[in-house]
Amino acid sequence: MDDSRLYLPETVRAIDAAAIEQCGIAVFELMRRAAKAAYQELRRRWPEARHLLVLAGGGNNGGDGIELARLAMLDGRRVELVLLADPTQLRGAAAEAWSAFEAAGGTRCQVAHVDAADVIVDALFGIGLSRAIDGEAADWVARVNRGKRPVLALDIPSGLDACTGMPLGAALGADATITFIARKLGLYQGSAAACVGDVVFADCDVPAGAFADAEAAARLLTDEDLHAAWPARGADMHKGHFGHLVIVGGQPGMPGAALMAARAALRSGVGLVTVITHPDHAAMLPLVQAELMVKVADDAAPLREWLEPASAIVCGPGLGQSDWSRALLNAVLEHAGSRPLVLDADALNLIAEAPRPLSPQAVITPHPGEAARLLGCSTGEVQSDRLAAAQALLDRWGCTSVLKGAGTWVVAPDALSAFCPAGNPGMGVGGMGDVLSGIIGGTAAGRSPLGDAVRGAVLAHARAGDIAAAQCGQVGLLPSDLIDALSKVLPRP
């Protein structure tokens, strides 16, 4: 199976059923495989942990926790198992797990102290939860979240919606989550990043046949996306093979946005970059970045001629919302033709203000606030189901959509929606979006297929941000730090 694919909860349940009914794997055997993988991860991550607190519910997720508790106990660990169900009421594989735990000498803990444990295992609720956690379970979630002990969540942190990634009331915050058999969509959406910690995947040796009828909801971006966006260069190639990007933006007082986009495009490997910008600062740009060509735009009249040599266009960085801005955007939309056109920042706000059809070759790159304006909804609605919002952008505007934020989504026509698993909070600073636009534009100008260019650019941008954060720290991370790190993430010959 392809472990980069993401599935809805109902699809995961169908995969589980196929593994049991078609592949002949008993439910308790699946539980044992999951618990073994989880315990191995716990030992790898916290090798010195001797005292475990396992919080288990009454379903199969709780059964996974009970079996992990048995394995840890047999391995010489001190285990406190808090079971939030009557053991006599357990059914199926969870009951088998309890019987095995008791046979190994395990008992149910009546009083446990969160701060005494070296590691806490969250096995309260799995992907079937559809309501807010209450009662004793809610008390445990609150106690764990207030504490400072490391937490390993089994399959999904308790309280997190397995589809949207939004908390169902309160959700438990984990340092790591090990998810079993198939990756759940909710681990990569909404508020998941604040709950899941590091996500580890265990396939539990489920055969590919169990996935034969399973349709993925999305997938993760991977190294293959980088190689698709930046194929190997032939020894006889020259700058003409790598495209000419034209960037339109930079109103008075905002030359930096266009400059950052241009610098990022150059670092992404484009052959030529021209910036069309306001006369107030046009002379300054090539002094800062000598490789740039600059056109002075008092008005939009010359744009048709200046756009002619472009193999891709970026419009929006520092564009503003003045009459000058509107005139340039209108000219770009009129004369872009069938070339890739990346629209960002104020270009998106102007389009939301005065909607017009966009080319299928356009790419829109909104952050949540801009996405809300483009969709005529609230930012909260966008964030409550980010994949659905990204898909709505594609439906509304008919072009590839990049919904930026904590966990960027790329939704393109005739392609599986893709989630970017890289990136960090230090990238939440002005100018990072301009850099992304430049990378997308520079990659698309190189004549990679548009979808490939966008997906590769999004992943490269995020990975470069992670490298820059590792070098500089997240606090005070600058877009220019990311640009300097780009060469470390792009494929090498």
Residue 86 has which token pair?
């009557």
pLDDT score, position 59: 96
pLDDT score, position 411: 98
pLDDT score, position 101: 98
The pTM for the full model equals 0.94
The sheet that has 293-296: what strands, in order across it?
183-184, 5-7, 218-220, 418-419, 409-411, 400-403, 362-364, 341-343, 312-315, 244-248, 272-277, 293-296
Distance CA 429, CA 346 (A): 16
Identity of the amino acid at 391: Q
Distance CA 36, CA 51 (A): 18
pLDDT score, position 1: 58
Q: What is the DSSP string of 320-358?
A: -SSHHHHHHHHHHHHH-TTS-EEE-THHHHHHHHS----
Average pLDDT by consecutive 10-residue portion of the chain (493 residues)? Answer: 89 97 97 98 97 97 98 97 96 98 94 91 96 94 95 98 94 97 95 95 97 97 96 88 96 95 97 97 92 95 96 97 97 96 97 96 98 98 95 98 96 96 96 98 93 98 98 96 96 80
Pick the closest to residue 403 from 424, 388, 416, 415 (CA basis).
388
pLDDT score, position 470: 97
Distance CA 470, CA 70 (A): 38
pLDDT score, position 124: 98
Report CA-CA distances (Å) from 170 to 161, 178, 359, 453.
11, 20, 43, 39
Contact between 199 and 223 (Cβ < 8 Å): no
Pick the closest to residue 401 from 430, 434, 360, 438 (CA basis).
360
Per-residue burial over 350-369, b if 16 or more Cβ lie within 10 Å, else e, is bbbeeeeebeebbbbbbbbe
Distance CA 18, CA 169 (A): 32
DSSP state at residue 160: B
Residues 6+ apart with CB under 8 A from 78: 50, 51, 52
Report residue 128 CA to chain centroid gap.
Answer: 23
